[in-house]
Amino acid sequence: LQERNRWLRYFGQQKLFPAQDITDALLEPLEAQRHAAPTLAPHLARRLALAQPGMALIHSTLRPATQAKAEDLARNYVRRLTTLGISQAAVLVVNNKTHAVEAYVGSVDFQDSGSLGQVDGVRAVRSPGSTLKPLLYGLALDRGLLTPKTVLPDVPTNFQGFRPENFDKHCQGEVTMERALTYSLNIPAVRILSEVGVDNFTGTLRQAGFRQVAQDAPRLGLSTILGGCGATLEELTGLYAALANGGRFSPLALTSRGTSPPRPPSPKKRGEPTVVERVLSSGSPLFFGEGGRGGEVHRLGNYAYSYLLKL
């Protein structure tokens, strides 16, 4: 209040405003309100500040409306699952055309120390569960080990001491590759990994930027395809963004200066259609889940194909 009045008197002395206006302004009550500072994307803000010390201004690729919506969705999702002991969630939204990150939610509440809200869930290493299965089937397709209609046995199997089970503890007998992927069956996936080779599979993940997999590669086995390895949400999102771009890899961009179109596939794979391309060009329908949601096959990296769900 004192500071306001000091400036008003100064304006009056300089005759910048009529004397009556200055008098009225001095008599007007001051209703000061404290406004909270913006808190969108605190994890990314801290990450960029640490990565670029001394920078007074950093332009991120975030879209404020998308960021706010992603934060609201994460909070509402966790609120519904509180009774199950779930207290945190992370969200990463990427523009598939530019690989620019448009929303970055590291946790639902940065200030909630009780549930470790300051831990960045986007970069935290967690089990990827079954999210790597599309990549595995893509590798098998590209190597000619199967086609979408190949019948696989979903029966109890002992893989040199490893006996995987499906999530529901049941087996479906003979299933096509399409069905095995659609229903995320574990036993067929382990069988395919044993044929593709763990080293070949983890090598693909290393090239896709999976750092924990690269570090643990010598110790990884068939359980890798069931989530028996470490991956981050950022790595998985980058992988699926590559699938959406026909396998064109490009690092996810966090700042406006880092955006660039995904790199084109290596020319080594151009030319005559592969066996997989011939099979898929025959017009046979591919379905995922109920309702006949179509899938497409896209190039991944220089040598793999994988299904991409049309969500």
pLDDT in tens, 213-229: 999 999 999 999 999 99
Alpha-carbon distance 127 to 231, whole Å? 6
List the CATH code of the domain at 133-249+262-309: 3.40.710.10
- At 104, the amino acid letter reads Y
The more confidently predicted of residues 178 and 249 is 178
Please say if the pLDDT value at position 236 is more than 90: yes
Alpha-carbon distance 74 to 149, whole Å? 38
Q: For residue 245, what pLDDT is reported?
A: 77
Number of H helices, E strands in the chain: 11, 7
Q: For residue 250, what pLDDT is reported?
A: 83
Helix residue spans in the chain (DSSP H): 2-13, 19-27, 42-51, 64-80, 133-142, 177-182, 186-196, 198-207, 211-216, 233-244, 275-280
Work out the mean pLDDT of the chain and round it to a whole number.
Answer: 83
Q: Where are the domains of the chain?
A: 1-30, 42-115, 133-249+262-309
Rounded mean pLDDT, 71-87: 94
Q: For residue 278, what pLDDT is reported?
A: 34
Alpha-carbon distance 180 to 149, whole Å? 10
Helix axes 186-196, 198-207, angle to 10 degrees: 90
pLDDT in tens, 201-215: 999 999 989 999 999
Please say if the pLDDT value at position 265 is more than 60: no
Name the band, by pLDDT with cuts 50, 70 and 90, for residue 93. Answer: very high
Q: For residue 83, what pLDDT is reported?
A: 92
Name the band, by pLDDT with cuts 50, 70 and 90, for residue 10. Answer: very high
Q: What percent of the chain has pLDDT over 70?
A: 82
Q: For residue 125, what pLDDT is reported?
A: 97
Alpha-carbon torsion, ordered 230, 235, 239, 244, to 10 deg: 140
Asked if 135 and 300 touch (Cβ cutoff 8 Å), the reply is: yes
What's the angle, vertex CA 56, arms to CA 54 and CA 58, rounded to 5?
Answer: 105
Alpha-carbon distance 241 to 263, whole Å? 12
Please say if the pLDDT value at position 90 is more than 60: yes
Q: For residue 215, what pLDDT is reported?
A: 97
**Ranked by mean pLDDT, which of 3-7, 186-190, 283-287 comes out on top?**
186-190
Alpha-carbon distance 89 to 73, whole Å? 10
Alpha-carbon distance 210 to 235, whole Å? 6
Please say if the pLDDT value at position 305 is more than 60: no
Alpha-carbon distance 110 to 90, whole Å? 11
